[in-house]
């Protein structure tokens, strides 16, 4: 017969200690109750943080009561499921025309020199400790019948390869300036802008502008960001 458990009752026969008494197995912090969390410092849920590697810390509340974790480190942050990775493609200088092959045709794509906006936006975009870098992009359909534009085909990666958050809600760029969904016919050319959030003081010479036709995934084309 099993002996008495820690509360005077019968022990949980046949169960490992971690299952029979999870609080004890988890260590003293787990048994300390809710006051332990308060003692550890203020914390709010970061809806955009993903992955076990996200560090714990304070958060600031941004527009629409959406919390944003305080930035720690010097890179970009982007949890979009459409993020484009640098991959192994070689980056060409800005203003270099490269061929983007779509399902309906091939387009010439080039990027101009970036401008940096340090005053526009809000705490959601570009966010605390961030500034906006804006690129003009020109796309011309040179082969085939059609080519569909969308900002989702483009991205900016920092020196660690992390995708930078795009201005999807037009916090900085106006709707008429931003590259959006448009179908180009043979010979059509469009010049619009793309905006991304980067840390204040970021060295853009170490960043990369990327293009992926069937996003997300590794880039089909890349340009040096400065």
Same-domain check for residues 65 and 95: no
User: Tokens for 86?
Assistant: 């640098």
Region label for 127, one of left (φ > 0), alpha (ψ between -120 and 50) or beta (otherwise): left
In the predicted model, what is the mean pLDDT of the chain?
78
DSSP-assigned states of every residue in the chain: ---B-TTSSB--TT--HHHHSHHHHH-HHHHT-HHHHHHT------TT--STTPPP--EEEEGGGEEEEPP-SSS-----TT-EE-TTPPEEPTT--EEEE-SSEEEEEEE---EEESSSSBTTTBTTTEEEEEEEEEEEEEEESEEEE-GGGEEEE-TTSPBPPB-TT-SSS-TTTB---EEEETT-EEEEEEEEEEETT--GGG-EEEE-TT-SEE-SEEEE--
Q: Which residue segment(s) compose the domain that 161 sits in?
A: 84-224
Pick the range with the lowest mean pLDDT from 38-52, 133-147, 156-170, 201-215.
Answer: 38-52
Q: How high is the pLDDT of residue 163? A: 96
In a domain, 59, yes or no: yes
46 exposed, middle or buried (CB, 10 Å; 0-12, 13-18, 19+)? middle
Quote the DSSP letter at residue 18. H
- Let me know: does 131 contact 167? Beta carbons within 8 Å: no
Average pLDDT over residues 70-99: 86
Confidence of residue 78 (pLDDT cuts 50, 70, 90): confident
Confidence of residue 36 (pLDDT cuts 50, 70, 90): very low
Confidence of residue 23 (pLDDT cuts 50, 70, 90): very low
In a domain, 78, yes or no: no
Please state, in angstroms and rounded to a whole number, the distance separating the CA atoms of residues 75 and 146.
Answer: 37
Residue 58 pLDDT > 70: no
Kindly report the pTM of this predicted structure: 0.68
Q: How high is the pLDDT of residue 79? A: 86
Question: Residue 185 maps to which CATH number?
Answer: 2.60.40.1240
In a domain, 4, yes or no: no
In a domain, 12, yes or no: no
Question: What is the domain count for the chain?
Answer: 2
pLDDT tens column, 91-147: 999 999 999 999 999 999 999 999 999 999 999 999 999 999 999 999 999 999 999
With pLDDT > 90 as the criterion, what percentage of the chain qualifies? 65
Same-domain check for residues 90 and 163: yes
Same-domain check for residues 89 and 129: yes
Same-domain check for residues 42 and 89: no
Please state, in angstroms and rounded to a whole number, the distance separating the CA atoms of residues 72 and 69.
Answer: 9
In a domain, 96, yes or no: yes
Q: Between 4 and 127, name the one with better pLDDT.
A: 127
Going by C-beta distance under 8 Å and a sequence separation of 6 or more, which residues neighbour residue 207?
156, 157, 158, 159, 164, 198, 224, 225, 226
């Amino acid at each position: 017969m099993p002996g008495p458990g820690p509360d005077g009752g019968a022990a949980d026969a046949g169960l490992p200690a971690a299952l029979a008494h999870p609080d004890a197995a988890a260590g003293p912090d787990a048994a300390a109750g809710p006051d332990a969390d308060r003692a550890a410092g203020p914390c709010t849920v970061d809806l955009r943080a993903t992955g076990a590697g996200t560090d714990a810390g304070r958060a600031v509340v941004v527009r629409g009561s959406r919390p944003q974790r305080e930035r720690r480190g010097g890179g970009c942050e982007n949890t979009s499921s459409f993020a484009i990775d640098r991959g192994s493609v070689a980056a060409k200088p800005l203003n270099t025309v490269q061929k983007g092959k779509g399902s309906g045709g091939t387009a010439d794509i080039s990027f101009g020199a970036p401008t940096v906006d340090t005053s526009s936006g809000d705490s959601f975009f570009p966010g605390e400790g961030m500034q906006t870098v804006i690129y003009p992009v020109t796309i011309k359909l040179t082969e085939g019948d059609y080519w569909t534009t969308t900002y989702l085909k483009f991205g900016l990666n920092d020196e660690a390869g992390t995708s930078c958050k795009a201005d999807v809600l037009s916090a900085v760029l106006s709707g008429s300036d931003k590259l959006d969904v448009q179908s180009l016919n043979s010979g059509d050319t469009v010049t619009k802008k793309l905006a991304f959030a980067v840390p204040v003081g970021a060295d853009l010479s170490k960043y990369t502008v990327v293009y992926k036709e069937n996003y997300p995934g590794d880039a089909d084309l890349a340009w040096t960001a400065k």
